């Protein structure tokens, strides 16, 4: 086949494979295909699932440093990668060709300082970078890195904790400048709905929002949410999909439905922590989600509240399933019809 097909065509055929594993299989055909396929592997999404994966990639790049500039997409599935190894990898792979760096890095504070330094010292602009990894906890270094790439980022995770209920000073003055941002995730602990609005008010072109937030104040009555939201909250018509992870409160959902009136997909994946039942929480959640065309709801209910919850859902005509989660908790799932 090599005598019939030119190298350019063979390379295009190999490159049609989406995964690194498939390209690696092509390397086994013969020595010639191995030479053609090896550099193409680095143009696929590279997934780091363990520190061994990171070391393997580092070894390849030590032998062929030029392949580093071919890396465009990398995802860190393993968060606990030694800082020294992170830094060594960055010096090979973090070039202006980089498009996506995904995942979560537990020891990433030096990582964020390094990518800022490399971008600021580079003659060529890092104008293709759409997303960077995030830390599990609040980090000023991470916030500063977000600001560095604010002109190109399309996806971003903001991390809060009990001591940092607002974005850090390094990023707060630049919130309006993330013009390309379409996907935003809020992680961590936040004091109230009002603080959530303080952050979200700056992003007027979002298309997708994910909330992995634990609000530490009490659930507000619906009348209070409406009285506060109507004169205060600016609505955004571009958001089409909202996802709640771990936690979902009725006042939070009511606020989100008011702020983003054109949501067509709602996902609530709150089946790890029992749902609060105070202030008619479950009833208000069901009413708030009622007009969303596509929804997928997973809730965890304690056994003591199960009978009342099922009775209410039946009364509202909801279609749902109930599964036992453990000895005193049950999962309730509701999904819109196809």
Residue in 268, 209, 205 with CA at minimum distance from that of residue 234: 205
Same fold, 1-44 and 46-293: no
What is the per-residue pLDDT across 189-239, written as a single tens digit (0 to 9) for each? 888 899 899 999 999 999 999 999 988 888 999 999 999 999 999 999 999
Task: State how far the Cα of 239 lies from the Cα of 149, in Å rounded to an integer.
Answer: 23
> Do the beta carbons of residue 139 and residue 116 sit within 8 Å?
no
Helices (DSSP H) in the chain: which residue ranges? 7-15, 20-26, 31-41, 51-63, 83-93, 109-121, 140-148, 169-172, 193-200, 222-232, 250-259, 281-289, 303-315
% of residues, the chain, pLDDT over 90 = 51
pLDDT confidence of residue 108: 64
User: Cβ(264)–Cβ(240) under 8 Å?
Assistant: yes
Q: What is the pLDDT of residues 318-332, one digit of tens each?
A: 899 999 988 889 999
Q: Which helix (H) or strand (E) holds 333?
A: strand 329-335
Domain 46-293: which CATH number of 3.80.10, 3.30.420, 3.40.1580, 1.20.58 = 3.80.10
**What pLDDT was estimated at residue 217?**
87
Q: Provide the CA 266 distance to its chain's centre, in angstroms.
A: 16
Please state which CATH class domain 1-44 belongs to: mainly alpha
Domain ranges (residues) in the chain: 1-44, 46-293
Q: Residue 195: how many CB atoms within 10 A of its CB?
A: 17
Note the pLDDT tens digit of each residue in 247-305: 999 999 999 999 999 999 999 998 888 887 655 888 999 999 988 999 999 999 999 88
User: CA 314 to CA 309: how far, in whole Å?
Assistant: 9
Q: Which two tokens stand for residue 316?
A: 């509202």
Which residue, chain included where needed, has tokens 């995730």? Answer: 185
Question: Token digits for 157?
Answer: 């995770």
Query: Which residues on neighbouring strands pair with residue 324, listed in sequence order?
Result: 330
């Amino acid at each position: 086949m090599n005598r019939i097909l030119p190298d350019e065509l063979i390379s295009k055929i190999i490159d049609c494979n989406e995964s690194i594993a498939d390209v690696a299989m092509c390397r086994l055909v013969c020595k010639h295909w191995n030479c053609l396929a090896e550099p193409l592997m680095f143009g696929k999404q590279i997934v780091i699932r363990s520190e061994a994966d990171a070391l393997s990639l580092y070894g390849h790049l030590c032998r062929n440093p030029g392949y580093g500039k071919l890396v465009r997409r990398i995802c860190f599935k393993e968060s606990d990668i030694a800082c020294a190894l992170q830094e060594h990898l960055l010096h090979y792979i973090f070039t202006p060709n980089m498009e996506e760096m995904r995942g979560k890095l537990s020891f990433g504070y030096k990582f964020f300082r390094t990518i800022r330094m490399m971008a600021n010292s580079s003659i060529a602009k890092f104008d293709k970078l759409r997303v960077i990894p995030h830390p599990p906890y609040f980090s000023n270094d991470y916030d500063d890195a977000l600001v560095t790439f604010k002109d190109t980022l399309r996806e971003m995770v903001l991390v809060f904790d009990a001591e940092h209920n607002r974005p850090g000073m390094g990023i707060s003055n630049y919130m309006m400048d993330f013009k390309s941002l379409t996907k935003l995730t809020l992680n961590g602990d936040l004091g109230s709905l009002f603080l959530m609005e303080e952050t979200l008010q700056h992003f007027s072109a979002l298309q997708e929002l994910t909330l992995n937030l634990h609000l530490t104040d009490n659930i507000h009555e619906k009348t209070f949410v409406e009285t506060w939201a109507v004169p205060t909250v600016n609505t955004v018509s571009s958001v089409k999909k909202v996802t709640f992870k771990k936690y979902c409160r009725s006042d939070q959902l009511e606020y989100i439905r008011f702020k983003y009136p054109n949501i067509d997909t709602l996902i609530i994946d709150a089946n790890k922590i029992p749902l609060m039942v105070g202030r008619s929480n479950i009833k208000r959640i069901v009413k708030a989600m009622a007009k969303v065309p596509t929804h997928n709801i997973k809730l965890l209910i304690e056994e003591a509240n199960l009978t009342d919850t099922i009775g209410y859902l039946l009364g509202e005509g909801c279609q749902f399933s109930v599964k036992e989660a453990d000895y005193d908790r049950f999962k309730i799932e509701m999904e819109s019809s196809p």
